Structure 1
């Protein structure tokens, strides 16, 4: 019997980078949700290693999520990052729609021929994003926590940016995001508790400031996430496959 309910797979590239609000938004659209933990908590301090990923053709949408590592780290490229990039290419070839978030967006850029490198400055906290396609990626403050940035893959169209980095591009049935639409206060508390490198302090912020701002923006972000997921499903995932 043919599958009726749409299915989305969230790839948890790091165990603390979960789907959070994005999972809620896909569930509201009637999706069955699967998750796959790429690097477990036990391997967090030594993330290189071989990974056997699920069959991408079992899903309508795959969402590679964030991580604290660099997608160009050679020890990771020699193991699971290259495997995950091939999974993304195989998924795209099979007509599976892709939505990448931060590390996941960078992985998509790298998988399809773009590059990723250290940015001149990190973006941490709530940053104003300018969008050419507010019906797909609404502009406004989105949460950021990244040190790297991408160059666009061949054929991709950038649709959002900040002064310091590209923030979103579309390539076929793929949408890559540099920011974190999934963040809520519960997820942010986990990230703040694991900020071993002092990123927040160096950004001139405090934990309390970031949490307060996240609480203040909660309703607005929830509304914009619904627009983003609806736009992705109708305008990106809903695009006709090339003949």
Structure 2
């Protein structure tokens, strides 16, 4: 199997999600949208690969808002087209945080500012713990989605919807891929100031992530397995 991983910037790799895909025998092909040199000016031009060459697509997180096309440029509409084409072609999609919001927007849902930002580790209420566990999961988002028509919400918390399934698409609002090294990259690329602005201590966030990293990796592996077995039906029986 081959997976197209859409990595929107240099600090948002697939982490624990990518490792589990590789453990399951999936070959990962990366498409980086915004190169490191354009991190603060992300209105780049990019040509996305044809999804016909892949068995699944993983759309990763990003520090921007789906609706901020003036800042991030036309590649958002191109990626929305890719996700719609994947769905129409039966290619499964896993969307993570920004990627999950893109899945919602691609299929008729809305992405809007959340009433409050979520930063840090938090549990979720889940209807399907064998697919999306109760966590805690790492959160870092200022936006939320309204569900697209036909979607089945499977997890939520007091801040926002946290996961939904739509045909062979799974969208999650949290970051199952995150590890301490990745969080350190976020914090050193402007995230520390964002965390402080929302009342979170960056050092405490990093220390808690180190403590939770192994358990988080186990939960991420279970989520990937559930996606492959039950949502994508690529490995299920």
Both proteins in one fold, TM over 0.5: yes
Structure 1 ranges of 4+ moved more than 6 A: none
Moved more, 201-210 or 140-149: 201-210
Question: What SS does the corresponding residue of 2:143 show, helix, strand or coil?
Answer: strand
Q: 2-side partners of 1:76 and 1:63: how far apart?
A: 23
Asked whether the 8 Å contact 2:42–2:72 carries over to 1, the reply is no
Q: More displaced, 42-51 or 97-106?
A: 42-51
SS in 2 for 1:198: helix
Alignment partner for residue 132 of structure 1, among 121, 127, 131?
127
Q: Deviations over 1:165-220 (max 9, x none)?
A: 00100000000010000000110100011126722113322222111111211221
Q: Which residue of 2 aligns with 1:104?
A: 99
What is the RMSD computed on CA atoms of the aligned residues?
Answer: 1.4
Structure 2 gaps of 5+ residues are none
C-alpha distance after superposition, 1:122-167 (max 9, x if no partner)? 0001111111111111112100111000000000011001101001
- After superposition, residues 40-79 of structure 1 pair within 5 angstroms as 40-75=35-70, 79=74
SS at match of 1:217: helix
2:187 is matched with 192
Residue correspondences, number: 234
Partner of 1:33: 28
Q: Tell me if 1:218 matches 2:232.
A: no
Deviation sequence 1:66-96 (CA, Å, 0-9, x none): 1111100132675100000000111111111
Which position in structure 1 is the counterpart of 2:79? 84
Q: What is residue 201 of structure 2 aligned with on the other side?
A: 206
The C-alpha deviation readout for 1:15-68, integer Å capped at 9, x for no partner, is: 211111111010111111111101111222221233210111111110111111
In 2, distance between residues paired with 1:94 and 1:77?
27
Pair 1:234 & 2:229 matched: yes
Unaligned runs of 5+ in 1: 1-5
Residue number in structure 2 paired with 1:3: none
Work out whether residues 49 and 76 of structure 1, in 8 Å CA contact, stay in contact via their aligned partners in 2: no
Equivalent residue for 2:152, pick from 151, 157, 163: 157
Range 87-96 or range 164-173, more displaced: 87-96
Give the aligned partner of residue 142 of structure 1.
137
1:120 aligns with 2:115: yes
- C-alpha contact (below 8 Å) 1:145/1:179 kept by paired residues: yes
Partner Cα separation in structure 2 for residue 37 and residue 96 of structure 1: 20
In 1, the alpha carbon distance for the partners of 2:206 and 2:159 equals: 23
Measured in 2, the distance between the counterparts of 1:51 and 1:220 equals: 36
